[in-house]
Amino acid sequence: MRKITLYMQSSVDGIVSDPDRWANISDEILEDALQMYENIGTVVFGGRSYPSMAQYWTGAEQTSTSELERAFAKKINEIDKIVISRSPVKTTWKNSRNVQVADEDALFAAVQKLRSSKGGPISVEAGVKLWQLFLQNRLYDELWMLVHPAIAGSGQRLFDVEDGARLQFLASRSYENGVMGLRYALDRTGFI
């Protein structure tokens, strides 16, 4: 069974939407992400977030002024990518495909099929609604959050879900720019 990690940026007040307003991605963070990507087999995006991610990272491999960002772009461009959506999404990004799900049952089936397929760990990287579905239905093994030193005030909150869950602490890291990296495992014995 492949491990599923929810990987995201968050403000201190739990906002995960519009990170361009408050996120500060440093070289340290990119280095850690690049290291994580050495083992990742598949990256998952939601249908709304996919187009902007595809456009940015496809271009960044050639146009970024940062050598580290170009290396990261090259890596993410090579990795298998899945777009989970309710409606068709045109997949223009190299090594990407669309998996359409009509409802939560179809999502569960798609996730189970992906989890039992061959390959390295799976990283669910974007889409507030997609993250919330994974959280609410406990379709993940680990949560890796980069908490940025900002209060966004408004936007979509990650933990706007009906049921809670207990987590087990795995690791933390503080970055020079004030970002805190937090890693937790889902405690499947301790639901709230």
For 15, counting Cβ atoms within 10 Å of its Cβ (0-12 exposed, 13-18 middle, 19+ buried), the class is buried
Query: What range does the domain containing 81 cover?
Result: 4-191
Tally of CB atoms within 10 A around 131: 25
> What is the rounded average pLDDT for all residues in the chain?
91
Check residue 65 and give its pLDDT: 87
What is the tally of structural domains in the chain? 1
CA distance 77 to 13: 31
Q: Which of 79, 91, 84 has the alpha carbon at shortest distance from 114?
A: 84
Express each pLDDT in 60-73 by its tens digit.
988 988 899 899 99
CATH number of the domain to which 152 belongs: 3.40.430.10
Check residue 159 and give its pLDDT: 82
pTM score, whole prediction = 0.90
Express each pLDDT in 92-108 by its tens digit.
999 999 999 999 899 99
**E-strand spans in 54-154?**
80-85, 96-100, 122-126, 142-148
